[in-house]
Amino acid sequence: MSEVSESVAENLSGRAFTVQESADEYSQLVMDLKQQIRDYVRRRGTELEQNLLEKAFDDIEAYHANQIRRSGQPVIVHPLRVALSICNMGLDAPTVVASLLHDAIEDTSITWDYLSTNYGEWYADIVDGLTKIKYTTDSGKKRADLEATYQKMLAAMVRDVRSLFIKLFDRLDNMKDMDAMPRHKQRSISRETLNVYVPMARRFGLEEISQEHTELCFRYLYPKRYERTLAHLQRLREQQAPSIQAMHRQIEEVLQRCGLENTRIEEIWTHPASYIHFSEDAETVLEGYRLVVQEPLESYQVLGALHTQRNAVPLKIRDFISNPLWNGHQGLRTQVIFDGEPISFEIVSKQMSQLNEYGIMAHWKGSVSELSNYYRTCLEQLDLFSGNKELRMAEVMGYLQSEQIQVFTPKGDMVTLPSGATVLDFAFQIHTDLG
């Protein structure tokens, strides 16, 4: 982040400006955001994409001019922050440009034809796919319009999964700026996020983004319990700090004795989002440790170091490197006894850690054909949903929220099925001619 005033720096992380803050600070914030985005596209984009970026800057400034959000923040800050989030994920320049324009059709007089003529059909289609169908005042029709909006969004995701990336960062940034909204609106948006966008993020392996959305939902749906949970976790962190530091040193010593001192030790802290559905207080602020190595083979060396110098808890060893989870999650899991207590460990390479946190975004290389079989199957299933006009969104959500199970075929191949699948489902999966 470049050096800016403290209030501007805070706004880069999502705090809304108050109405009293000066126009100079708004201007500084916009300039700083634009420069960071511009620098990224210069490094990653073609000359044409850089030119389209500058045009997008001009268009959103012109069409969002004098538009102010309830929080007192200029509307233009929102698409800029969404675009910066796309940059921070290392996505391609066209996605950055499209993210700047994501509200253009919905909130300005810009049309699909304008975008198609000035940017290209791909940009016009992405933005149109992110545009809500205008709701009527009739409650029955409003529900139908909402269903149609979801189907439109699913169709856009299937055409190009990058629309999902933009939508998730769009929703995340909007939720960070809801304090000035009426209470009923905060709750309505939070419920929709929890029921639609959180399961969607999880289905595509976006754990970090899913947790961010969930924590914001917690904050707005149950504000008192959320604040109490934050305060309780902070107290636990302070109370347990000496024992956590002592444990960190013990782990370092175990690794050093085996020549594995380059292993990075990360505490896995209890996330407030974990308590959105539970009213009881957390007992510990630490869920375990993540040990990060350079190469996959080193993961097994670290596992060996732990198991030869401490007692491993029986039946708690999981090898998700050899057999990744249904969403592509990889790593080794184990529990080891330290000071008489079982301590959980996750052992991963740097690349595994990134893939585990950012799922399909980290896997994306510009083509669906390069995605894993799991993600391709997810998109194929959503394609079936988006093309079925009779399908209710509840059925789609049932799919997104369902857990998965993994079964081995007689040949040793792993097959992923929805939880509750039958033997017949398994047979159809491995012998497609049966269908």
pLDDT at 100 over 70: yes
Indicate whether 184 belongs to any domain. yes
Q: By the 8 A CB rule, do 378 and 400 touch?
A: no
Domain that holds residue 38: 6-223
| 227: its two tokens | 């604040």
Mean pLDDT of 260-275: 95
**In Å, how far are 89, 113, 326 from 202, measured between CA atoms?**
17, 34, 12
Of 244, 283, 294, residue with least CA distance to 267? 244
Q: Which residues are 346's β-sheet partners?
A: 290, 333
Q: Which of 170, 195, 223 is the last residue of a domain?
A: 223
Q: Tell me whether residue 224 is exposed, middle or buried, using C-beta atoms within 10 angstroms of its C-beta: 0 to 12, 13 to 18, 19 or more.
A: exposed
Same domain, 116 and 214: yes
What is the number of domains present in the chain? 2
**pLDDT tens digits for range 247-259:** 999 999 999 999 9
Same domain, 205 and 332: no
Same domain, 149 and 251: no
pLDDT at 19: 44
Give residue 7's identity as a one-letter amino acid code: S
Q: What is the mean pLDDT of the chain?
A: 85
Mean pLDDT of 183-188: 96
Give 388 or 274, the one with higher predicted confidence. 274
Same domain, 108 and 196: yes
Mean pLDDT of 16-44: 82
| 431: its two tokens | 């012998």
Domain CATH code at residue 149: 1.10.3210.10
387-407 as b/e, with b when 16 or more CB fall inside 10 Å?
eeeeeebeebeeebeeeeeee
3-state secondary structure 231-283: HHHHHHHHHHHHHHHHHHHHHHHHHHHCCCCCCEEEEEECCHHHHCCCCCCCC
Q: Which of 329, 353, 377 is the last residue of a domain?
A: 353
Indicate whether 377 belongs to any domain. no
**pLDDT tens digits for range 112-131:** 999 999 999 999 999 999 99
Give the predicted TM-score (pTM) of the model. 0.84
* Top mean-pLDDT range of 20-24, 71-75, 365-369, 430-434: 71-75
Same domain, 155 and 52: yes
Rounded CA gap, 127 and 163, in Å?
A: 8
Q: By the 8 A CB rule, do 258 and 305 touch?
A: yes
pLDDT at 422 over 70: no
First-to-last C-alpha distance (Å) of the chain: 55
Same domain, 142 and 215: yes
Give 353 or 393, the one with higher predicted confidence. 353
Other beta carbons less than 10 A from residue 411's beta carbon: 6
Indicate whether 432 belongs to any domain. no
pLDDT at 152: 86
Domain CATH code at residue 340: 3.30.460.10
Same domain, 243 and 177: no
Indicate whether 378 belongs to any domain. no
Same domain, 257 and 218: no
pLDDT at 13: 41
pLDDT at 384 over 90: no
Q: Which residues are 274's β-sheet partners?
A: none
Of 229, 239, 228, 221, residue with least CA distance to 272? 229
pLDDT at 186 over 70: yes
Rounded CA gap, 404 and 421, in Å?
A: 9
Same domain, 215 and 241: no
Q: What is the DSSP string of 321-333?
A: TTS--TT----EE
Q: Which of 331, 353, 375 is the last residue of a domain?
A: 353
| Pairing, β 404-408 against β 414-418 | antiparallel
DSSP state of 194: I
Indicate whether 400 belongs to any domain. no
pLDDT at 20: 46
Rounded CA gap, 214 and 293, in Å?
A: 29
pLDDT at 324: 87
pLDDT at 421 over 60: no
Of 176, 169, 152, 154, residue with least CA distance to 69? 176
